[in-house]
Amino acid sequence: MSKFTRRELAAALSTSAVLLARPQAAPPPALPANPEEELKAAQAQLRDNAAQLDKFPLPMDAEPATMFKP
């Protein structure tokens, strides 16, 4: 068993991981010119999202959000 709660672990890991994962400022790519390019751009955006999520460490007991605590 971990000595840390998942909240403590996430808090400890999140700052460094996310800061490292933050993309460097770069000029935005040109706007897509046609539907095919738009689809490729949308897929690239989703891949970028996935890459950012991948860099975020998740303890095994971090379960998906299913309810909201008052």
Partner 1 sequence: MSISNEIFFAGITEINQKLTKKEFSAVELARAFCDRLESIGPRYNALALSLRKDVLRDAKEVDGDIKRDRLRGPLQGVPFGAKDLLAYAKHPTTWGAKPYEDQVFDYTASVLKHIGKRGGLLTGKLAMVELAGGPSYRYASASLTGPGLNPWDNTRWSGGSSSGSAIAVAAGLVTYALGSETSGSILTPSAFCGVTGLRPTYGLVSRHGAMALSWTLDKIGPICRSAEDCGLVLEAIAGAEYGDASSAKKSFYYTPQFARDLKDVRVGYAPVDFSEGVDPAARADYAKALETIKSLGVQVTEATLPEFPYGAVIGTIISAEGSAIFEPLVKSGKVDQLADQRQIAGLKAGLEIPANEYLKAMRIRALIQEAFHDLLSTVDVLIAPTRFDPAPKLTQPLDRRATERPTPATPGLTTLIPAGNLAGLPALSIPCGFANGMPMGLQLVGSPFSENMLLAIGKTFQDRTDWHKRRPPIAA
User: What residues make contact with partner 1 under the rule CB under 8 A?
Assistant: 6-7, 10-11, 14-15, 18-19, 21, 25, 28, 31-32, 35, 38-39, 41-43, 45-46, 48-50, 52-56, 58, 62-66, 68-70
The Cβ of residue 28 has, within 10 Å, a number of other Cβ atoms equal to 5
How many angstroms separate the CA atoms of 53 and 4, rounded?
A: 22
13 contacts: CB under 8 Å, gap ≥ 6: 57
Least distance CB 35 / partner 1 (angstroms):
6
Q: C-beta of 3: minimal distance to partner 1 in Å?
A: 18
Shortest Cβ 26–partner 1 spacing (Å): 12
